[in-house]
Structure 1
């Protein structure tokens, strides 16, 4: 099958680089809503037999315009939700963000027992993500196609661990809001990545040092956005 993984649109937490992984979580900003509408045209040429989203409000809101356009219901699976931040939940400081990402890509690199304080192990996280992907795959024919709206960290770690991208590549390539990763395969036969990073509505204009919470870009200190 063809699996089109989409990161949700921009949220208020993205604007302040907040580790915000609880359910249901925030909605979308006005720009995020615009990005969700633009996703309809981004995927215009794609076959879509089923449409899924994580249990987070931002993922379901991002999927809604596409659902209306294609006449599909948005199916929800909790396994597609973002990587749990544990005791770092709600933090916006750079050290916490870097630690969150360090542990996440440690999982993708094979250390499945690593975990954040108060958070699950990599083994638990990948099992959860695998369950979500398996549900999506089971909803279409073997030659079908589905869209799953998920989260930056979840998508990057899963494709790094399961679809041949590798931790080093995923760690150095942020997935922007409504960015798209396309993979093909099946839970039984395995997965391979066909394309990474779709066409988000607005690309960042500032230099990127590395990706922040849930793959939101971290700006250089001279142009760091004002915290609000």
Structure 2
């Protein structure tokens, strides 16, 4: 998919989420608010970053202080919008909701898109572990809390959102674990033994026999 189409998709998704009926429906329950609307707003920023030219991406990443700066901004911003007080404020005040609509794409999704490859395997692992631990902690908090932590949502809705976050954390961990380890032995074997069943030689790899 070319860059203009990606940028158009980001703009279309953002406008769809900003429509009053869509916004009201997504924010009517804690589960949809936290686990549908917020991730989709982050996806807007990821799409936006993917639709930028390489030189623009490099310039923005440099301005953000490199991959670590972008990752820090994304971590703090996403953590803030998981707080019960932030959710309440977004539901009660349209201006706070507007700030949420601006910061999640620009300070979470876009920095992640810019920094993802430069982060390397260790940095990406930190992102996944941070996401999983945050989902588990907040989910446990919502399930175990004896009272409502969000004034805008009922206790049953709160517990439902908490269990959903715990389940999503498990799915994310399973997918990440599978991506890390499943298929690697096959790839290693494919590298050791060629498609024709023979072990490749330096010449077959296009490398000189002697250096």
TM-score, normalized by the shorter chain, greater than 0.5: no
TM-score by length of 2: 0.26
Higher fraction of strand = 1
* TM-score, with structure 1 as normaliser: 0.25
Instruction: Tell me which structure has the larger Cα radius of gyration.
Output: 2
Larger fraction in helix: 2
Higher relative contact order (CA 8 A, sep 6+): 1
